A and B are shown apart, each in its own frame.
Chain A
Amino acid sequence: MAASAKAQGYRVIGTRPVRHDGVDKVTGRAKYGADYSFPGLLYGKVLRSPYAHANIKSIKVDKAAALPGVKAVITADDLPALADKMEQAGEQALNLAQLSANILARGKVLYDGHAVAALAATSPHIAEEALRLIEVDYEVLPPVMSVEVAMKPGAPILLPGLRNKDEGPDKQTNVATHLQFKRGDLNEGFKSADYVVEREFKTAMVHQGYIEPHNAVGIYNPDGHATIYCSTQGSFVVRSLSAAVLGMPEGNIKVVPAEIGGGFGGKTTIYLEPLSVMLSKKTGHPVKMTMTRAEVLRATGPTSGSTIRCKMGCTKDGRLVAAQIWMAYEAGAFPGSPVGAGAMTIVAPYNIPHLLVDAYDVVVNRPKTAAYRAPGASNAAMASETVIDELADRCGLDPCDFRIMNGAKEGTPQTAGPPYRRIGFIETLEAIKSSPHYKSKLEGRNRGRGVASGFWFNVGLQSSAIVNIHTDGTASLVIGSVDIGGTRAAQAMIAAEVLGLDVNNVRPLVTDTDSIGHTDVTGGSRTAFATGWAVYEAAQDAVRQLKERAARLWEKKPEEVGFDNGQFVVQGDGVKPMTVKELAGRLARTGGPISGRATVNARGVGPAFATTVVDVEVDPDTCKVEILRATVAQDVGKAIHPGYVEGQMQGGTAQGIGWALNEEYFYDDKGILRNSGLLDYRMPTCLDLPLIETCIVEVPTPGHPLGIRGVGEVSIVPPPAAVANAIAHAVGVRMTELPMSPPRLLKALLGKRGSAETQAAAAGR
């Protein structure tokens, strides 16, 4: 468990203050993207494809444009054509032509819900009615819904220009990329194995499920400058991508990040933003666009469904010796599934001498996938962590002990080769072993306990921070990282710690793209790590400047001035120490205001590990699975605000449980999404989950001034496998499909009973 703040010499870090933006958020005053309004506001809506795969022969908009109240209608022809190649846009690499074609289809629609046209009107109702008047002539094509179909020779082709290295420059294909990771000698490895388990897994496409639909207000000025108000994980990404799609200079766009109602990776790209600007340009009015829930589910980026074949071998005494993995992920309509991450995470927690991983990124007629919390890792862990559980059972070993025996430590090579630096995987297993939950007895029929572990890289990237010292001795902290779950509080705590101030005397401000240096997305578990680092350095910069002022007042050299526990001190001749407050009052006379500044392109990212234990009870007749108890242990490096760290661990666990049991994209045979609402896209309610116990493990990241590790993602990785392992121990069937919904579990159970009966019959004969 987390050592107390004091024990580690911290005054603020490790405590649980009320978040600075809290009152606004419990009183309804906080402004989210959809809450913005401006004089003359128009409402934009998007017309979406009713087909999964079709050529657009023509679009007639005149009837819609003629409806009273409609001010403008746009199609892809209103956006510039862009180069069809990978480019660096902001911090991410992507194909801008494909990005643009996802925002408004060009010539072809590639999934149910693909945007075809957009319009702006004086009321949202008029806009909706006008959509019905746009006439689109489609030539319907056969939909390609699964990686299996997409990879078959002669499968219908989604993107005529798509090629890959394996198949060569002349071959049209739906396979965008093939990645391979190789180590040792597989045959050798499997020869030395006493037990080998091989299974094929299928996981369904699932959505991040943030409660706030995407939104944007675009305001285009006649001077060619535009402002976008929107809920996003990265205001600078919105700026660079929108500029590219609109063909505008990046500097001509200012993005004002509103409060954000959840993202989980899904709000790291753009959909409505450039459309709202283009409609504003055409009409001369501010244009607000918000998605319906059906639009969010049909047309924003979920994460990949996948097919994974996983073969692993171990010796009698439980040493993993070899693993062979084949994985294909649904990219959606355009390349870019997280299969690379899947490949590099699937056995990342373990030291396996002989390894071969083949990974394929495959386009299908489903929405273009976007990042979702540890993208690609949960699908992968469903495969590897259930196979490992089966091997542990074969060896008669405790699942934690099996993982400890094979677990990665400092120096263990990662899948792509580089060795780990100091990591806390083993520590998460030890924490689970000593948890009250794991020590408790699980009794009763049809009940089972399952354990699984997970790995996530975490990312670093760029952040900027400014710390202003005010004359009353308080500070304001300016950052570009949007607050998606306690960011302001955590960053203010870091600044307060360094400055020796009360956390309530540091006022955090999340600002727009013109008011702070480049700051990458609040995502990739990078914000506490990288922005926290920038804030730490900016506060140190302010302290350095304050020391100079103290030195001037005391007629000493700056290096003679010390700073301890909020007080500036100097050795000898009885000089009375000064607090920041006292010094702040004298800034004007000692050289003027003080702003501490820092930017980072953070290095030395420490990866995150989590281990989760789940108890379930299965109704053997209806095959409904109840989660009785869940505990998650995670290495967080250093918990700044333990309350929000626990929140990340609990939230990821809850999403992982939803993924495990009921969440899935359900398409019919025509490729139409049949559950595009929260009634039938079944996320857990609070009646579906127990209290979620947490064990915060703190193995500091080497090199980071506070030892912070990203905490945002890894907790979603273990749950699907942990639940599958619990079900196996409850009713004796190994599930290989996600979600493990009652119909799927019933099928598996009936299959098992069936075979049991036939065996019994055979035995009886």
Chain B
Amino acid sequence: MEFFELGKISLLIGFGLIVLGFWGILSQKNIIKIILSFTIMETGVNILIVSLGYVKGKTAPIIDSAVEQGANHSVLGQVVDPVPQALVLTAIVIGFGTTALLLAYAMKLFKAKRTLQINNFNDLKW
């Protein structure tokens, strides 16, 4: 049953989405599609982060009646790792910001040439 652990499976899901995202980024010509692939990749990274913080059988890092508290509200050994969750919050927000900006760029590019094919935007080269 080594393989069948939630942490490992979601790690695989994360890796899978990252690779799929890369595939889209490298193969799609449509700018919106490329940005979508980025979003998929970011989702994958987020899953990766959370699954690394997961500890089998532990509860969410919130001290309420559901967990047994030790002295001074210590919940050591009861909860999953709070740090990756904090990091992933940041990552999600950053991802949102980047995506919004990329899309703004996409609109601007579309306005300039009335096309979304990335091959058409090579004014600067060599």
Co-complex (A, B): no
Q: Chain A residues in contact with chain B, CB under 8 A?
A: none
Q: Chain B residues in contact with chain A, CB under 8 A?
A: none
